[in-house]
Amino acid sequence: MEQKIKIIAGLLFGITGLLSCENDVGPLILDAPSGPVSFNRDIQPIFDAGCIGCHDDSHQQLDLRNCCSYQELWSSGAGAPYVLPDNPAQSKLYRHLTGDLPLMPPFGSLPEYEVNLVLKWITEGAEDN
C-alpha cells in the first residue's frame, strides 16, 4: 500500500511540475508567420476581427478598416501617431492592447499571441507590407 501511495504522489508531483507556471514557456504557436511580420497578412486580420466593430468610418479618431488603417495609425486623430517603432512599448496601439491605456477591445483583451504579434510588428519597424 505504501508503495502505491509513493507512486501516486510521484505522479501528482510530476504532473504539477508540468502544469506549473514556472515551466510555462508561453503559448504553443503552430501557425506563426515565417520571417518578418506582415501588416497585410498578420496585423490587418487582427484589426478586422477585433477592432473594426467600433473603429470603422464612423469612429472619430481611428478607422482601422482595410482601406485606410495603416495611414490612420500614423496620422489620424488627436492621438496620432499610435505606433512608435523607436519605442514599441510606449506605442499607443500596444498600450491599448495590453490595458496600459483603456483596454481595447473594450469587451476583452485580444489573445496574447495577437498582442505579441503587434508588438513584434512595431519592433520590426511597423512596415506597410
Question: For residue 89, which amino acid is it?
Answer: A
Q: Can you give the pLDDT at residue 76?
A: 76
pTM of this structure: 0.73
Q: Can you give the pLDDT at residue 101?
A: 95
Question: For residue 108, which amino acid is it?
Answer: G
Q: Can you give the pLDDT at residue 79?
A: 81
Backbone angles phi, psi at 36, to 5 degrees: -65, 155
- Per-residue pLDDT 10s for the chain (129 aa) are 666 554 554 444 444 444 444 444 333 334 556 689 999 999 999 999 999 999 999 998 899 999 999 999 999 777 899 999 989 999 999 999 999 999 999 999 999 999 999 999 999 999 999
Q: Can you give the pLDDT at residue 47?
A: 97
Of the candidates 87, 81, 35, 90, the one whose C-alpha atom is nearest the C-alpha of residue 61 is 81
